[in-house]
Amino acid sequence: MSRSVRIKIVAKNRLEPAHFTDLPRRYPGHEFVLDPAARDYDWFVVYDDLPRRSGEKLSLNREVLACPPSNTILMTYEPSSIRYYGPDYLAQFAHVLTSHEPSALAHPGRRDMPPVGIWYYGGVADAVRHPVPPEKTIGLSTFMSPKQAKHTLNYRRYVFLEALSKALPEMEHYGRHFRPVEKKAEALDVSRYHVAVENHIGPHHWTEKLSDAFLGYCLPFYAGCPDAGDYFPPESFIPIDIDDPAGAAAVIREAMAAGEYERRLPAIVEARRRVMEEWTIPNFVGEVVERAADLPAGPGRAEILSRHMLFREQPAALFRYVLGKTRWRRANIRRWR
C-alpha cells in the first residue's frame, strides 16, 4: 500500500480539524498534518501567515522546510483591500492560492481560489446536525458591523445596510454590536432570507458571508463576488446592488412576497453541499499537489519566515512592503470612493 502524501498546514488563526477529517474529500490519499511542530511532511501550506508562538503578540515564527521548496503553498484569506503581502513574503512560496487581483498579487504560481475553510456559522458538527432544513421562524435577517474603513468596502457596506434597515424595518439585525450570538447558526438556522454583503467585491472573492448563509439553508440576497454563479447554482442566491439600497429593498420585498425561498430551496441545498464537499481547503490544496508537475510555480525557499520576522531580518523587504502597501491603499481609497 502506497504511503499517504503528508501535507502540513499552519495558519495565523486556528483551523478546525474536522474540516480535514470529517468532510468528504476529493483526494483521500492526502493526510493533513495540523501540528505546528511536525517535521515529517511532503508539502508545507501556510494559510495567511505562520502562527504565533507562546508569548508572541505578532508572529516571529519560521519554518525550516522538511520538504522541497517546490512543495510550498500560500493561501490567502483577507481581500487585497485589507491584506497586502509584498513581493518578498510571496517569493518564499512556490504556489499561491488567492482571490487577490493579479495587479495586487503577482506570482508565477498563483491560482484563483476563494477564501474557503473559515466558517462563522459554527463547526462541522453544527452543520451536519441539520441534514434537512430546520424550522424557519424569521423572515429576513442580516449581520451588521460598525466598521467604516474607506480603503475597503466597509464604509459603503455600512451605509447600504443602514439605508436598507430603514426601508425594511422588519429585518432582524445580528452582530457583536447589535444582537450578539455565539455562532451565526443561531440566526441563520431560523431565517428564510438573509442579506449578505461583502467588504470587497472582486472575482473569486466570496467569503463566509455567503457560504454561512447556505450552511443555514438561507436564501441570500447577495452583494459581492461577480462570478459567484460559477461556484454555486445561480438560483441559490439573489444579487442586489450595494449602490442602490432602494432597488435592493424592492428586490427583497418582491422575492419574499413571491415565496422565492420555497421555490429555490433545491438550489440552496445544492449550494450547501458544495460548501461542505467541494469548496474546501483539502480539495483546493489537493488539486495543486496532484497537478504540481504541470503547473507554473516559483522556486520557493528552503526557509519560510512569518511576515514580521521577514521584515525584522530584511529591512529592505519592509521598505518594499510599506511602499507597495501605501500605493495599493491609495488605489483602493479611489476605487471604493
User: Model's pTM, two decimal places?
Assistant: 0.95
Contact 19, 295 (CB under 8 A): no
- 51-89: burial string, b at 16+ Cβ within 10 Å, e else: bbeeeeeebbbebebebebbbbbbbbbbbbbbbbbbebb
Per domain, the residue ranges of the chain are 5-117+280-335, 128-277
Is the domain spanning 128-277 CATH 3.40.50.300? The answer is no
* Closest by CA position to 118, among listed 11, 273, 198: 11
pLDDT tens, 238-292? 999 999 999 999 999 999 999 999 999 999 999 999 999 999 999 999 999 999 9
Cβ neighbors of 211 (< 8 A, separation 6 or more) are 116, 119, 121, 275, 279
> Residues 174-191: pLDDT tens digits?
988 888 999 999 999 999
Using an 8 Å Cβ cutoff, are 212 and 143 in contact? Answer: no
- What is the pLDDT, as a whole number, of residue 331? 86
CA distance 332 to 337: 8
- CB 75, CB 285: distance < 8 Å: yes
Compute the mean pLDDT over every residue in the chain, rounded to the nearest whole number: 96
- Cα–Cα distance between 326 and 332 in angstroms, integer? 10
